[in-house]
Amino acid sequence: MKNNIRSVHPAVIAVWAAVIAAGHFLPTIPILGTGGTFSISSALFPLSGIFFGPVAGALCSAAGGFLGNLIAPHTAWMGLFTFIMGTTTSFTSGCIAWGKWPPVVIKGNGSFIINGGIIVYIAGTILWFTQEIGRHSFFIPVISYGLGFAAMITGFFLSRQLFSSPGRLSKFPAIWLCSFGGIIGGATIGNFFTLVLYEMPKEFWTALAFVQPAERAVFALGAMLIGVPLMEGLKKTGIPVGPDG
């Protein structure tokens, strides 16, 4: 997986982090049941990983998300730790976009390499089942995580070809798949913190299992509509973005 942070200029990371931080001032979207909100930066987090790779993208989102939560505390629904969800989203989206098929490579000596996006889903699911309510709310990992995982696997298989295609239209489904898989990946961590912090009942999580994928699909749509023209524009200015950059 191509994820060398040294290939991304520090100025690019700083500017993108500033864009994410500024996005926290834009109109927000309520989070069902928690009283918190999502900022428009939620659509920018997956683009960090898609544009700059999982490591550099995660760094952009960590810096921008942390700063954004400080200057716009109404978006910090998990307090100072809210940036972790955006960081995980960027990392997972980057792993999908910049990874290769198959996502698990077994070497001749018996060792294997597994894509970081899969590790995020496994870790998030394990954390979920460490909680009693989580063990009784299996709809969340089955439905919400399952749809995100399906998008991730599809993204592993198709996104590299779609990004390298000369046609601009092919980049729309590529960015959506990577964004949706990444956003749900971030949600696996966010759901755990929400479960611990707010102690929502089983009924809440049962309903959220159906609402969450639809809500994240909209965020992925926003990332797609912003990301395709932005990707084309940045390339014309000489800034390499995306796995084919």
Q: Which domains does the chain have, with CATH numbers?
A: 5-236 (1.10.1760)
What is the predicted pLDDT for the residue at 43? 85
Reported as type and span, the H/E element at residue 49 is helix 45-52
Cα(70)–Cα(125) distance, rounded to whole angstroms?
29
Residue whose pair of structure tokens reads 């870790």 in the numeric block: 123
Cα(221)–Cα(175) distance, rounded to whole angstroms?
9
8 Å CB contact between 98 and 69: no
pLDDT in tens, the chain (245 residues): 445 565 788 889 999 999 999 988 876 666 555 455 566 788 899 999 999 999 999 999 999 999 998 988 877 878 878 899 999 999 999 999 999 878 888 877 767 789 999 999 999 999 999 999 999 999 999 999 999 999 999 999 999 899 999 888 999 999 999 999 999 999 999 999 999 988 889 999 999 999 899 888 988 988 999 999 999 998 888 888 999 86
Q: What is the pTM of this model?
A: 0.91
What are the two backbone dihedrals, phi and then psi, of residue 87, each rounded to the nearest 5 degrees? -65, -45
- Running DSSP on this structure, what letter comes out for residue 142? I
8 Å CB contact between 124 and 117: no
Reported as type and span, the H/E element at residue 229 is helix 202-236
Amino acid (one-letter) located at 96: I
What is the predicted pLDDT for the residue at 135? 94
Q: How many CA atoms within 13 Å lie on the side-chain side of 217?
A: 10
What's the sign of the alpha-carbon dihedral 157, 94, 161, 143?
positive
What is the predicted pLDDT for the residue at 75? 76
8 Å CB contact between 2 and 47: no
